[in-house]
Amino acid sequence: MRQHPGARVLDATAGLGRDSVIAALLGCTVIACERSPVVAWLLRDGLERAAAEPALAVAVARITLHAADAREVMAGLSEADRPDVVIVDPMFPERRKAALVKKEMQLLHRLLGADEEPEALLAAALRCTSRRVVVKRPGDAPPLEGPRPDLVIPGKTARYDIYLAHAGG
């Protein structure tokens, strides 16, 4: 996204908005989708507070929040509004032996639980994007069912599976 300021990004699993705000700070126009009404309300409140901060106001103005399932939002976009990048960061299943999870993630786990249909979200994202879909996964988890990632970027605690938009796809 750094190489493409002004790119259109759809954050399909906005949660508390971390990825959306980072993309907006990099100069992207962001559609943030959050299916949980409670989490969407928390995110809206946070964005309103951030808009009052001079250092964040310009970036936050580039974020449009939809308190809705991302699949519905993507299905309603016109061809001209298709995002260049779709970010899918499904809630990881809780681990039994993991270190204590950050309080932010504990809250989201309680409100949302594990995502029930990440494969359906990936399929919708691939139909919607004009360039790529980025899926965040636990480092030791298999890719989501469906097409194989075109690129895999490993990290210390997570892995990013990149799916490129293919002509006619």
Domain contains 14: yes
Residue 38 CB partners (closer than 8 Å, separation 6+): 111
Distance CA 7, CA 124 (A): 19
Distance CA 84, CA 86 (A): 7
Identity (one letter) of the amino acid at 102?
A: K
pTM: predicted TM-score of the whole model, two decimal places = 0.86
Domain contains 138: yes
Instruction: Calculate helix-pair angle for 37-51, 103-112, nearest 10 degrees.
Output: 140
Distance CA 64, CA 61 (A): 8
Domain contains 169: no
Question: Domain containing 126: what range?
Answer: 8-164
Distance set, CA 152 to CA 1, 45, 83 (Å): 17, 34, 21
CA angle, 27 then 29 then 31, to 5°: 140
62-105 pLDDT per residue, tens? 999 999 999 999 999 999 999 999 999 987 665 555 555 566 65
Question: Which of 20, 150, 131, 135 shows the shortest CA–CA distance to 83?
Answer: 131
Domain contains 3: no
Number of domains making up the chain: 1
CATH classification at residue 119: 3.40.50.150
Residue 4 — very low, low, confident or very high, per pLDDT cuts 50/70/90?
A: low
Domain contains 101: yes
Question: Which letter does DSSP use for residue 96 in this model?
Answer: S
CB 73 within 8 A of CB 53: no
Residue 19 — very low, low, confident or very high, per pLDDT cuts 50/70/90?
A: very high
